[in-house]
Every structure is written in C-alpha cells, then in structure tokens.
C-alpha cells in the first residue's frame, strides 16, 4: 500500500528565509512523487514531479525537491521565501504497475505562512 | 478556455434541492476525477473515469451521481445532500491510460448545503 506523510501541518518562515516542507512516502514499488500548491479559493497547481529521472527536480516559482530513496523522502525547498509563496502545499505519491493506472494519494497538506 | 474549468464556482443549495456541477477539460486528456476537499481533512478521491468509463467509486453515497458523456466533460449531480457535504469539490484530468498520475485540477466549486 502506498501512503504519504507531510510532517508539520503549518510552517512559518520570514520573507527571504529558506523554505523546507517535508514529505515522506511509503510505497512497495518505485514511486512517482509530486508537489502541488493550492492558493486560497483555487484548485491545486502542479509544482514539480519526480518520475524516476533525475533525483533533484526543479519546479515552478523557484521550488525544487530531492528524491532520497534511502530516506523515503521527497522534501520541497526554496532558498528564499516570497510573500506570494503563502499557500497550502500537498505532497502526492503514485506508481505505475504494468497496465494499471497510478492513482494519486495525497498527504494532508502543509500551510506555509510567510512573514514580512 | 484553457486547462480545466468548473462551473459554478460557488453554489448554495438546500437539502431538498437538485443541482449539478460541471467540469470541462481542454487538455485532450482521457481520464477525469472528482475530489472532495473538506476543512481539516485530506483530499478525498470520489470518482475516476477513464475513457468515459467509471473505473473507481470510493464508497461515495448515492446522493452524488457522476456522469461522463465524453472525455472532455464530467458532471456531478447532487440531490438530497446533507450539511456535512459542504466542501470544495475539485475536478481533475490526466492523460489517462498509462499516464494516469499527472493530474491537472480545476479551480473547484465551493458548495454550501443549508
């Protein structure tokens, strides 16, 4: 069975500080991993994805994430937070087996607050 | 229109009403999904359609009735809802087939049941 855990339901940083949002996954087969962002009153937007290519993945808005198999982690980082980064972030896991489809399993979300 | 659109964006309905939510995707995808997002709860997958065929129903109450007339359109018909059904309903699409996983979301319909 696959699952994903986001450590910390709320993260608060100062503008310009490092952003680190944590995600650990559990999967019996090699996973595909995703980060989505949700701004207030909007749907989810794909930030970045890992699909078994490079382990360091760069996404939109300056975010990146590193797939670490030994730690079963896929943490999201950004070197310098902007006020506009304030949103809720979701980690999701999926896998593809033969011809079966890869249903996304989402974490519970982390709300990022950025202080001036 | 681009991406995934949903209408209406906001809906208030009484428990005896019947209403429908509409989703349309302009991405040429073959799979579509309905999710429910409630406060303080993880995103809940409700239904999955792949090439117009329903492939998943996650024990959703029968007061929610999905319809997928073609790969571009998805509806969620609502009747005799309960106040606990108030939530943000999100539609998503993905290429389908071997590429189910990369999903693109619409902006959602904020539903309030009074």
State the pairing for strand pair A10-14/A110-115.
parallel
Find, in chain B, the residue whose alpha carbon is nearest to that of A111.
B40
Of A101, A102, A115, A108, whose CA–CA distance to A38 is shortest?
Answer: A108
Please report residues of A whose CB lies closer than 8 A to that of B100.
Answer: 94, 96, 101-103
Cβ contact B102:A49 at 8 Å: yes
Per-residue CA distances from B28 to A40, A81, B3, B23 (Å): 27, 35, 10, 14
Question: Could you read off the pLDDT of A24-51 as tens digits, one per residue?
Answer: 998 777 788 999 999 988 899 999 999 8
Please report residues of A whose CB lies closer than 8 A to that of B43.
Answer: 90, 106, 109
When CB atoms are compared, the residue of A44, A103, A109 closest to B90 is A44
Question: Could you read off the pLDDT of A68-85 as tens digits, one per residue?
Answer: 999 999 999 999 999 999
Partner-chain contact B105 A94, CB within 8 Å: no
Distance from CA of A79 to the nearest CA of B (A): 26
Question: Could you read off the pLDDT of B17-59 as tens digits, one per residue?
Answer: 899 999 999 999 999 999 999 987 889 999 999 888 898 888 9
Distance from CA of B14 to the nearest CA of A (A): 22
What gap in Å lies between CA B80 and CA B36, rounded to an integer? 17
A59 touches chain B (CB under 8 A): no
Q: Is the pLDDT of residue A3 over 70?
A: yes
Cα dihedral A77→B98→B27→B6 (10° resolution): -80
Question: Could you read off the pLDDT of B53-94 as tens digits, one per residue?
Answer: 898 888 999 999 999 999 999 999 999 999 999 999 999 999
Q: Which two tokens stand for residue B31?
A: 């799979």
């Amino acid at each position: 069975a696959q699952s994903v855990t986001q450590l910390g339901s709320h993260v608060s940083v100062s503008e310009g500080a490092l952003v680190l949002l944590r995600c650990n996954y559990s999967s019996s087969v090699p996973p595909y991993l995703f980060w989505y962002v949700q701004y207030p009153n909007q749907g989810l937007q794909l930030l970045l994805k890992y699909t078994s290519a490079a382990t360091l993945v760069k996404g939109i808005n300056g975010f990146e994430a590193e797939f670490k198999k030994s730690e079963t982690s896929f943490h999201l980082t950004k070197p310098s937070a902007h006020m506009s980064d304030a949103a809720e972030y979701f980690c999701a896991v999926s896998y593809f087996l033969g011809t079966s489809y890869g249903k996304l399993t989402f974490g519970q979300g982390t709300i990022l607050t950025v202080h001036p | 229109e681009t991406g995934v659109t949903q209408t209406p964006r906001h809906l208030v309905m009484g428990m005896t009403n019947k209403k429908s939510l509409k989703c349309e995707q302009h991405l040429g995808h073959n799979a579509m999904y309905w999710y429910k997002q409630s406060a303080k709860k993880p995103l809940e997958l409700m239904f999955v359609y792949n090439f117009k065929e329903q492939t998943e129903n996650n024990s959703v109450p029968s007061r929610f009735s999905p319809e997928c007339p073609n790969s571009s359109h998805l509806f969620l018909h609502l009747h005799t809802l309960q106040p606990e059904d108030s939530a943000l309903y999100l539609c998503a699409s993905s290429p389908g087939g071997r590429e189910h996983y990369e999903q693109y979301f619409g902006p959602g319909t904020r539903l309030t049941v009074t």
